[in-house]
Amino acid sequence: MITIRDATVLYGDNLEEIKANVLISDGEIVEVSPASKGKVMDGRGCIVAPAFINSHVHLGDSVAMDMGDGKPIEEIVKPPEGIKHRILADTPHSIQTVFMKNSMWEMLKTGTTTFVDFREGGKEGIDIVNEAAEEIPIRKVVLGRDESFLNPHITPQEVSKRVEELLEICDGIAPSGLGEITDETAAAIARTTRKLGKLSATHVAEYEQVQTDSVNITGKTEVQRAVEAGFQLLIHFTSPLNDDLKVVARSGIPTVCCPRSNGTLAVGIPPIKEMLDESIQILLGTDNVMFNSPNMVREMEYALKVIRAYYREYFPPEEIIKMATVNAGKALKLNAGSISEGKLADLVIVEQISGNPYLSIINRTEPGNIKHVIREGQIVPVKSQ
């Protein structure tokens, strides 16, 4: 048993600021109280927060950092001929693995203990990320895809078969977007994935053009089509059209926003204030390592400030931290993401630099201010990496 003593704890689903001790045993938080047992870690002057969850990343792109800057988005990321796809095709797997490992350690060093990866390249692609993560103490949720999904003539039965095969070695399925697959394929992916108790996700409404193309071709927005297909997680939502906000709110589907990625690609920012007003469950992700470091503190700071600048009004910092912790834990059905009894002990212990613990994390925390990253009760040896 370990006790983190006398820290400022961001407790429960509302990240309530309390002075308390956190008792950890067998990888779980057993008590948050004045008591202390077992080995004691001094938490004075520190904040204990839930470790961060990066809900959308493309680790495979780690090898293409900052390439293609200034080119149109389709030229950079649209499969199968985007710049990133060509770089990946030309890079040996052993090199890709090294870059992926570096990104995983960067996440741990900056307080992230869980990531959700969009993985290309079918079974082989999934094998690469699984192998890269083998000796790294980070929790991964790998969402694979198969090239055959892009074939407009593939039958739903064939899609289901491919999905079942992939799900033997990964945690879910994520096609790039509704622009590349038919609605029948989308529905077969979502249906089969749900039947097997796994996660389906897709990019939606990343920029205006994909939305207008979708409406022109199918009469529906990408968001409507993704919701109707039955996807369980939506990524981006930067350019909602028509009544997309209401559609997502009614569906209850959690949505991952990636404001730094949207900023890099000059496509706008998601309507995060309206999404919060509609009670949409908002998560945060750093998206392609090609555009951004997978550092969730940087994502949180950018998100908070760009929202305030865009709306010209106050936006609460604790809501931003929830997007990187509590909301993601719930949406991904992890027993993590908040500090309360019975949850997995996935925590960050950071120096409290200012009097406002939420802003101290968002505005001030550099990797050097993170004293410990704890995953399932074990201290992650980030300093030696």
Closest CB to Zn ion among 150 and 379? Answer: 150
Cβ atoms of 374 and 348 within 8 Å: the answer is yes
Least distance between Zn ion and beta carbon 126 (Å) = 17
Closest CB to Zn ion among 287 and 318? Answer: 287
Closest CB to Zn ion among 15 and 300? Answer: 300
Q: Which residues pair with 7 in a beta bridge?
A: 20
Is residue 376 part of the contact set for Zn ion (CB under 5 A)? no
Least distance between Zn ion and beta carbon 236 (Å) = 7
**E-assigned strand segments in the chain:** 2-11, 16-25, 28-33, 39-42, 46-50, 52-58, 112-118, 139-144, 172-173, 199-204, 233-236, 255-257, 282-284, 287-288, 347-351, 370-375, 378-379
Closest CB to Zn ion among 213 and 243? Answer: 213
Least distance between Zn ion and beta carbon 58 (Å) = 6
Give me the sign of the Cα torsion angle 100, 102, 107, 108: positive
| Contacting residues for 347 by C-beta, under 8 A, at least 6 apart | 4, 22, 48, 49, 50, 51, 339, 372, 373, 374
Q: By rule CB under 5 A, what count of residues binds Zn ion?
A: 1
Closest CB to Zn ion among 287 and 346? Answer: 287
Closest CB to Zn ion among 12 and 79? Answer: 79
Q: Scan residues 34-53 and list those touching Zn ion (CB under 5 A).
A: none
Measured from each CB, the residue nearest to Zn ion is 287
**CA 33/CA 250 separation, integer angstroms:** 38
Closest CB to Zn ion among 201 and 382? Answer: 201
Least distance between Zn ion and beta carbon 235 (Å) = 6
Least distance between Zn ion and beta carbon 325 (Å) = 20
SS3 state at 263: helix
Least distance between Zn ion and beta carbon 267 (Å) = 12
Is residue 287 part of the contact set for Zn ion (CB under 5 A)? yes
**CA 366/CA 82 separation, integer angstroms:** 33
Least distance between Zn ion and beta carbon 233 (Å) = 12
Is residue 180 part of the contact set for Zn ion (CB under 5 A)? no
Cβ atoms of 109 and 370 within 8 Å: the answer is yes
**CA 344/CA 50 separation, integer angstroms:** 10
Give me the sign of the Cα torsion angle 92, 97, 98, 104: positive
Distance, C-alpha 380 to centroid of its chain: 20
From the list 135-143, 155-163, 271-279, 285-293, the region that binds Zn ion by CB under 5 A is: 285-293
From the list 17-25, 161-169, 283-291, 367-375, the region that binds Zn ion by CB under 5 A is: 283-291
From the list 90-98, 142-150, 281-289, 299-307, the region that binds Zn ion by CB under 5 A is: 281-289
Distance between first and last Cα of the chain: 26
Residues near Zn ion (CB under 5 A): 287
